[in-house]
Each structure stands twice: as C-alpha cells, then as structure tokens.
Amino acid sequence: MNRINQKLQEEQKLLSIYFTAGYPKLEDTVTVIEELEKAGVDMIEIGLPFSDPLADGPTIQESSTAALKNGMTTSKLFEQLKDIRKRVSIPLIIMGYFNPVLQYGVEAFCKKCEELGIDGLILPDLPLDVYLEEYEAIFKAHGLINVFLITPQTSEARIRQIDAASEGFIYMVSSASTTGAKSGFGNEQTEYFERIDGLKLKNPQVVGFGISNNETFTAATSRAKGAIIGSAFIKHLTTHGTTEIDSFVKGIR
C-alpha cells in the first residue's frame, strides 16, 4: 500500500509540512526531511521550485527564487533524494508547477519518483481533465497518488468529480488566496469546513493555506483529517536555517 494511504488510516490528525527544496541552502533538502521526520511530522511536501509560482504569495515565491539561485534543478533534486528511502520512511510528496515536469518528461519524471520512493505529486496547474485524459495511467503505473485542490468556491459537482479521481486525500485550500496571504480563520472557514465534512467524501481532506500555529492547526483539523503548513515553516527556515525544527513542530501540536 502507498505510504500516504497507510498514514491516512492511522487514528491521529496529520501534520504535513511543505518546504522548498534547496532552501535556504542548496544541500539542506535532505537535512530538512530528516529533521521533520524526527520531529514527528506525518507527511512532507517537497517543493520543486519554479520561476513563476502563480499560486504562491511572497514567502514561497522568495524561497523558490532563492532555491533556483542556489542551483536547484529537477535533476539536482532527484540526485539529492537518491538514498532518501534509506534515511526516512515518512510519506513524501513532490509539489510543484507543471512546466518543469513537462520539460523533464511526465513519464520520465514519474518513473524517477517511483525509483526514489516518492509517494505522490501535487501539481496545482495540472487540471483535472488533462490529468484524466493524458496522465492518469502514467501516474498509476508508477504508483503515484495525484492530489487535487478544492477551494471554498469549488462547486459540489466538481468536488464530487475530484473525489472520484482522487486516491489519497483532497487538498482543501482554506480560503480563496495565494499561499501565505491570510492567517487565521473566520466564520467563512468554519462554514466551509463543515460543508465539506458534510459531503461525506470517499477521500479524507487535508487543509492547507493559512495554517501557522497550534490554534489554526486545531481549527483546521476539527473537521478535516489533517493540515499542511507551508509559508510559516519557510519563515522558520529563513530565520533559523535547519535548526530548531523540532521546537517549531512541537509548537504546532
């Protein structure tokens, strides 16, 4: 069974952390992954940096620019992850934009992910219809779970389509925003979390965007299976480098 599915079956609420590969230093990627696992995180999203990250706010944009400047490339990331399965057993997802994957070759990219022990992909600008028509078979052949996003504006009909096409979890974007744009939740989020919970989807939901501390983690996971932290952790890396990751994680839950 895919490590993501295995993890989702566990009782507790999941904490997933996003970070940009090659940030703050090019060779930090593996250290960050190991430290996050040690600190008790449940899942990691490894960000493949992109020059034009449309869905990201300034924090992740800047980390991507820095990582690219540091020399991060798709091949470099794969090289860094060469022995990652000898080091950690936590579910690993690569998150990035579609163009770098397209240029590497979708099939070649998926094959490489399988070899390295990557469990899934999140490619926000690879739309559902294109995935189903052109790429689903390739992802599946390499044992990769593709994760789709939904937002407060996503219609119920579309959520049901996305649920049908998903085999891991649904990435629930907490509010209409780019990453790091908003912090904290209001009534709108509470209603949204309740509405989605009420749909009784086949896939569990993991909430992302706007989660930065214990309070927002608890609120997000009151209905959903887990929550994802991105910008807040990038800020931690910016100030502390790869140190004190343990205390960052302990501060969340």
Count the helices and strands in the chain (H runs, E runs).
Answer: 14, 9
Of 147, 92, 148, 99, the closest CA to residue 115 belongs to 92
Binding mask 62-101 for other proteins (x = CB under 8 A): ---x--x----xxx---------------------xxxxx
Residues contacting 1, CB < 8 A, separation 6+: none
Residue written as token pair 């999941």: 14
- Residues 219-238 within binding reach of other proteins (CB under 8 A): none
Binding mask 171-210 for other proteins (x = CB under 8 A): --x--xxx--x-----------------------------
> How far apart are CB 107 and other proteins at their closest, in Å?
15
Considering the candidates 37, 42, 45, 119, report the single residue annotated as catalytic.
Answer: 45
Tell me the β-bridge partners of 173.
208
Does the protein bind other proteins through residue 153 (CB under 8 A)? yes
> How far apart are CB 103 and other proteins at their closest, in Å?
3
Does the protein bind other proteins through residue 164 (CB under 8 A)? no
DSSP 97: -
**How large is the angle between the packed helices 58-70 and 231-240, nearest 10 degrees?**
50
For 94, 101, 133, 189, 250, the CA distances from 137, given in Å and listed in that order, are 18, 16, 9, 35, 39
Of 195, 98, 110, the closest CA to residue 154 belongs to 195
Does the protein bind other proteins through residue 55 (CB under 8 A)? yes
Residues contacting 164, CB < 8 A, separation 6+: 202
Q: Which one of residues 2, 31, 151, 161 is an interface residue with other proteins (CB under 8 A)?
A: 151
Binding mask 123-142 for other proteins (x = CB under 8 A): -xxxx--x------------
The residues annotated as belonging to the active site are 45, 56
Footprint of other proteins (CB under 8 A): 50-52, 54-55, 57, 61, 65, 68, 73-75, 97-104, 124-127, 130, 148-151, 153-155, 158, 173, 176-178, 181
